[in-house]
Amino acid sequence: MNPRHRLAALAGGLVLAVFPGGAAHAQDPYAAPRQQMLADIVQITRDTRFETGRAQLSQRVTAAMAKVPRHRFVPPELERHAYANRPLPIGMGQTISQPFIVALMTDLLEIKPGDRVLEVGTGSGYQAAVLAELAAAVYTIEIVEPLARQATERLKVLGYRNVVTRTGDGYAGWPDQAPFDGIMVTAGAREVPPALLQQLKPGGKLVIPVGPMGAQVLMVYDKGTDGRATRREVLPVRFVPLTGGPR
């Protein structure tokens, strides 16, 4: 799930403000790697500003990325790599997305504190946890049953009470809980599932990678008050395929 971008590092004031150092590093063995992850996100955001239209991410998104313990969402043998700015395998042929992409997609959704958000593709639950730091409620669907079960338990243990998980085909969205202020798809779709646009509130945003493997583009759909959606391209990306949908 990594975009085709170079990785970079920056020791920036924004990141240092999140982790003052000293005692924090002594108490948290992941403080330094997490700080470096945030520095990488800051730099790559600057490097891609002409493509994304974002020279920096919102402070709310940065704070969420700093807070969620990414090492709890990867297999134990990969914990030492948890804060590297790259995707990691989580089993069942799936991955946890590159931190920069998680941060960017979250920022593009422009979540407000009272929003209700749908995520298609729970995976390990990491993206859902980041969304939960920003939204009032997160509804997340995973088609791979073992991953859905593991993510449900993981999010529960970590105290994310505003996340509702479900095993099922996210291509159809979640009609019983619609409409949503924002919808995020964390797998590559060949086309935008019509149900997702239907379940998006007027004024809401859908963030989704679209296209065949090797030619996916991260897209943002804005739904107007008249119910019509406009779209814009953001970045070339590479995600695992969205499964399910019409047979």
Q: Phi/psi at 39 (nearest 5 deg)?
A: -65, -40
pTM of the model: 0.88
Structure tokens at 58: 């919102």
Chain centre to alpha carbon of residue 121: 10
Check residue 138 and give its pLDDT.
Answer: 98
Question: Which are the contacts of 118, defined by CB distance < 8 A and separation ≥ 6?
Answer: 138, 139, 140, 141, 173, 174, 177, 178, 180, 182, 183, 184, 196, 199
Note the pLDDT tens digit of each residue in 138-189.
999 999 999 999 999 999 999 999 999 999 999 999 999 999 999 999 999 9
Structural domains of the chain, ranges and CATH numbers in brackets:
13-237 (3.40.50.150)
Tell me which residue has tokens 């949908």. 245
Amino acid residing at 180? F
Please confirm, yes or no, whether 97 is among the known catalytic residues: yes
Query: Does residue 5 have a pLDDT over 50?
Result: no
Distances in whole angstroms, Cα of residue 221 to Cα of each of 32, 191, 215, 231, 236? 36, 12, 18, 4, 16
Question: Which are the contacts of 144, defined by CB distance < 8 A and separation ≥ 6?
Answer: 92, 94
Check residue 20 and give its pLDDT.
Answer: 38
Q: Is 93 exposed, middle or buried (0-12, 13-18, 19+ CB in 10 A)?
A: exposed
SS3 87: coil
246: pLDDT confidence band, cut at 50, 70 and 90? low
Residue from 43, 48, 97, 106 carrying the catalytic annotation: 97
Note the pLDDT tens digit of each residue in 41-84.
999 999 999 999 999 999 999 999 999 999 999 999 999 999 99
